[in-house]
Amino acid sequence: MFPPTLEEAILTSEHIVIAKYIGYNKLKFITYFNGPVAKYKVIKNLKGNLSFEAISIRYMFNDGSACLAPKNWRFNDGMMPKPASTWVLFLKRDTQHKGLWMTYRGDFGRKSFSENFEKEINKKIKK
């Protein structure tokens, strides 16, 4: 599989939003390929018109190109974002789980927010 790119993330995402991380549902069985459901509050739409105030995202710890989990991988709370941190999310509906969203290529589709990154995305969307 080809490595993920920002251009492809912008092109293939139904929605691109700026959102604040709220927290996650602690599941009994979290693995490298079966992450928790993270909650975000949508602040601003950059692409699309997502009308939800809060969204739930199936969390992934890889970009979809890994076939095997890293040796001795174990989930811990430190792998999740800091509460109230701001992110740019490249989204599409999770067709297997009603009401959930997925990010473009898993962890590649979650980028820490900065004003410069927002400007870069806006420029690329307009092209």
Angle among Cα 88, 56, 120 to the nearest 5 degrees reads 10
Mean pLDDT of the chain: 92
Q: Please tell me what DSSP assigns to residue 78.
A: G
> Which CATH architecture describes the domain 6-126?
Beta Barrel (2.40)
> Hey, where are the domains in the chain?
6-126
Strand positions, DSSP E, the chain:
15-25, 37-47, 54-58, 86-93, 101-103, 110-112
pLDDT of residue 27: 77
Mean pLDDT of 11-27: 94
Say which residue, 62 or 79, is predicted with more confidence: 79
What are the CA-CA distances from residue 98 to residues 24, 57, 101 (Å)?
17, 11, 9
Q: What is the pLDDT of residues 73-121, one digit of tens each?
A: 999 999 999 999 999 999 999 888 888 999 999 999 999 999 999 999 9
Cβ atoms within 10 Å of 98's Cβ, excluding its own:
7
pLDDT of residue 103: 96
pTM (two decimals): 0.93
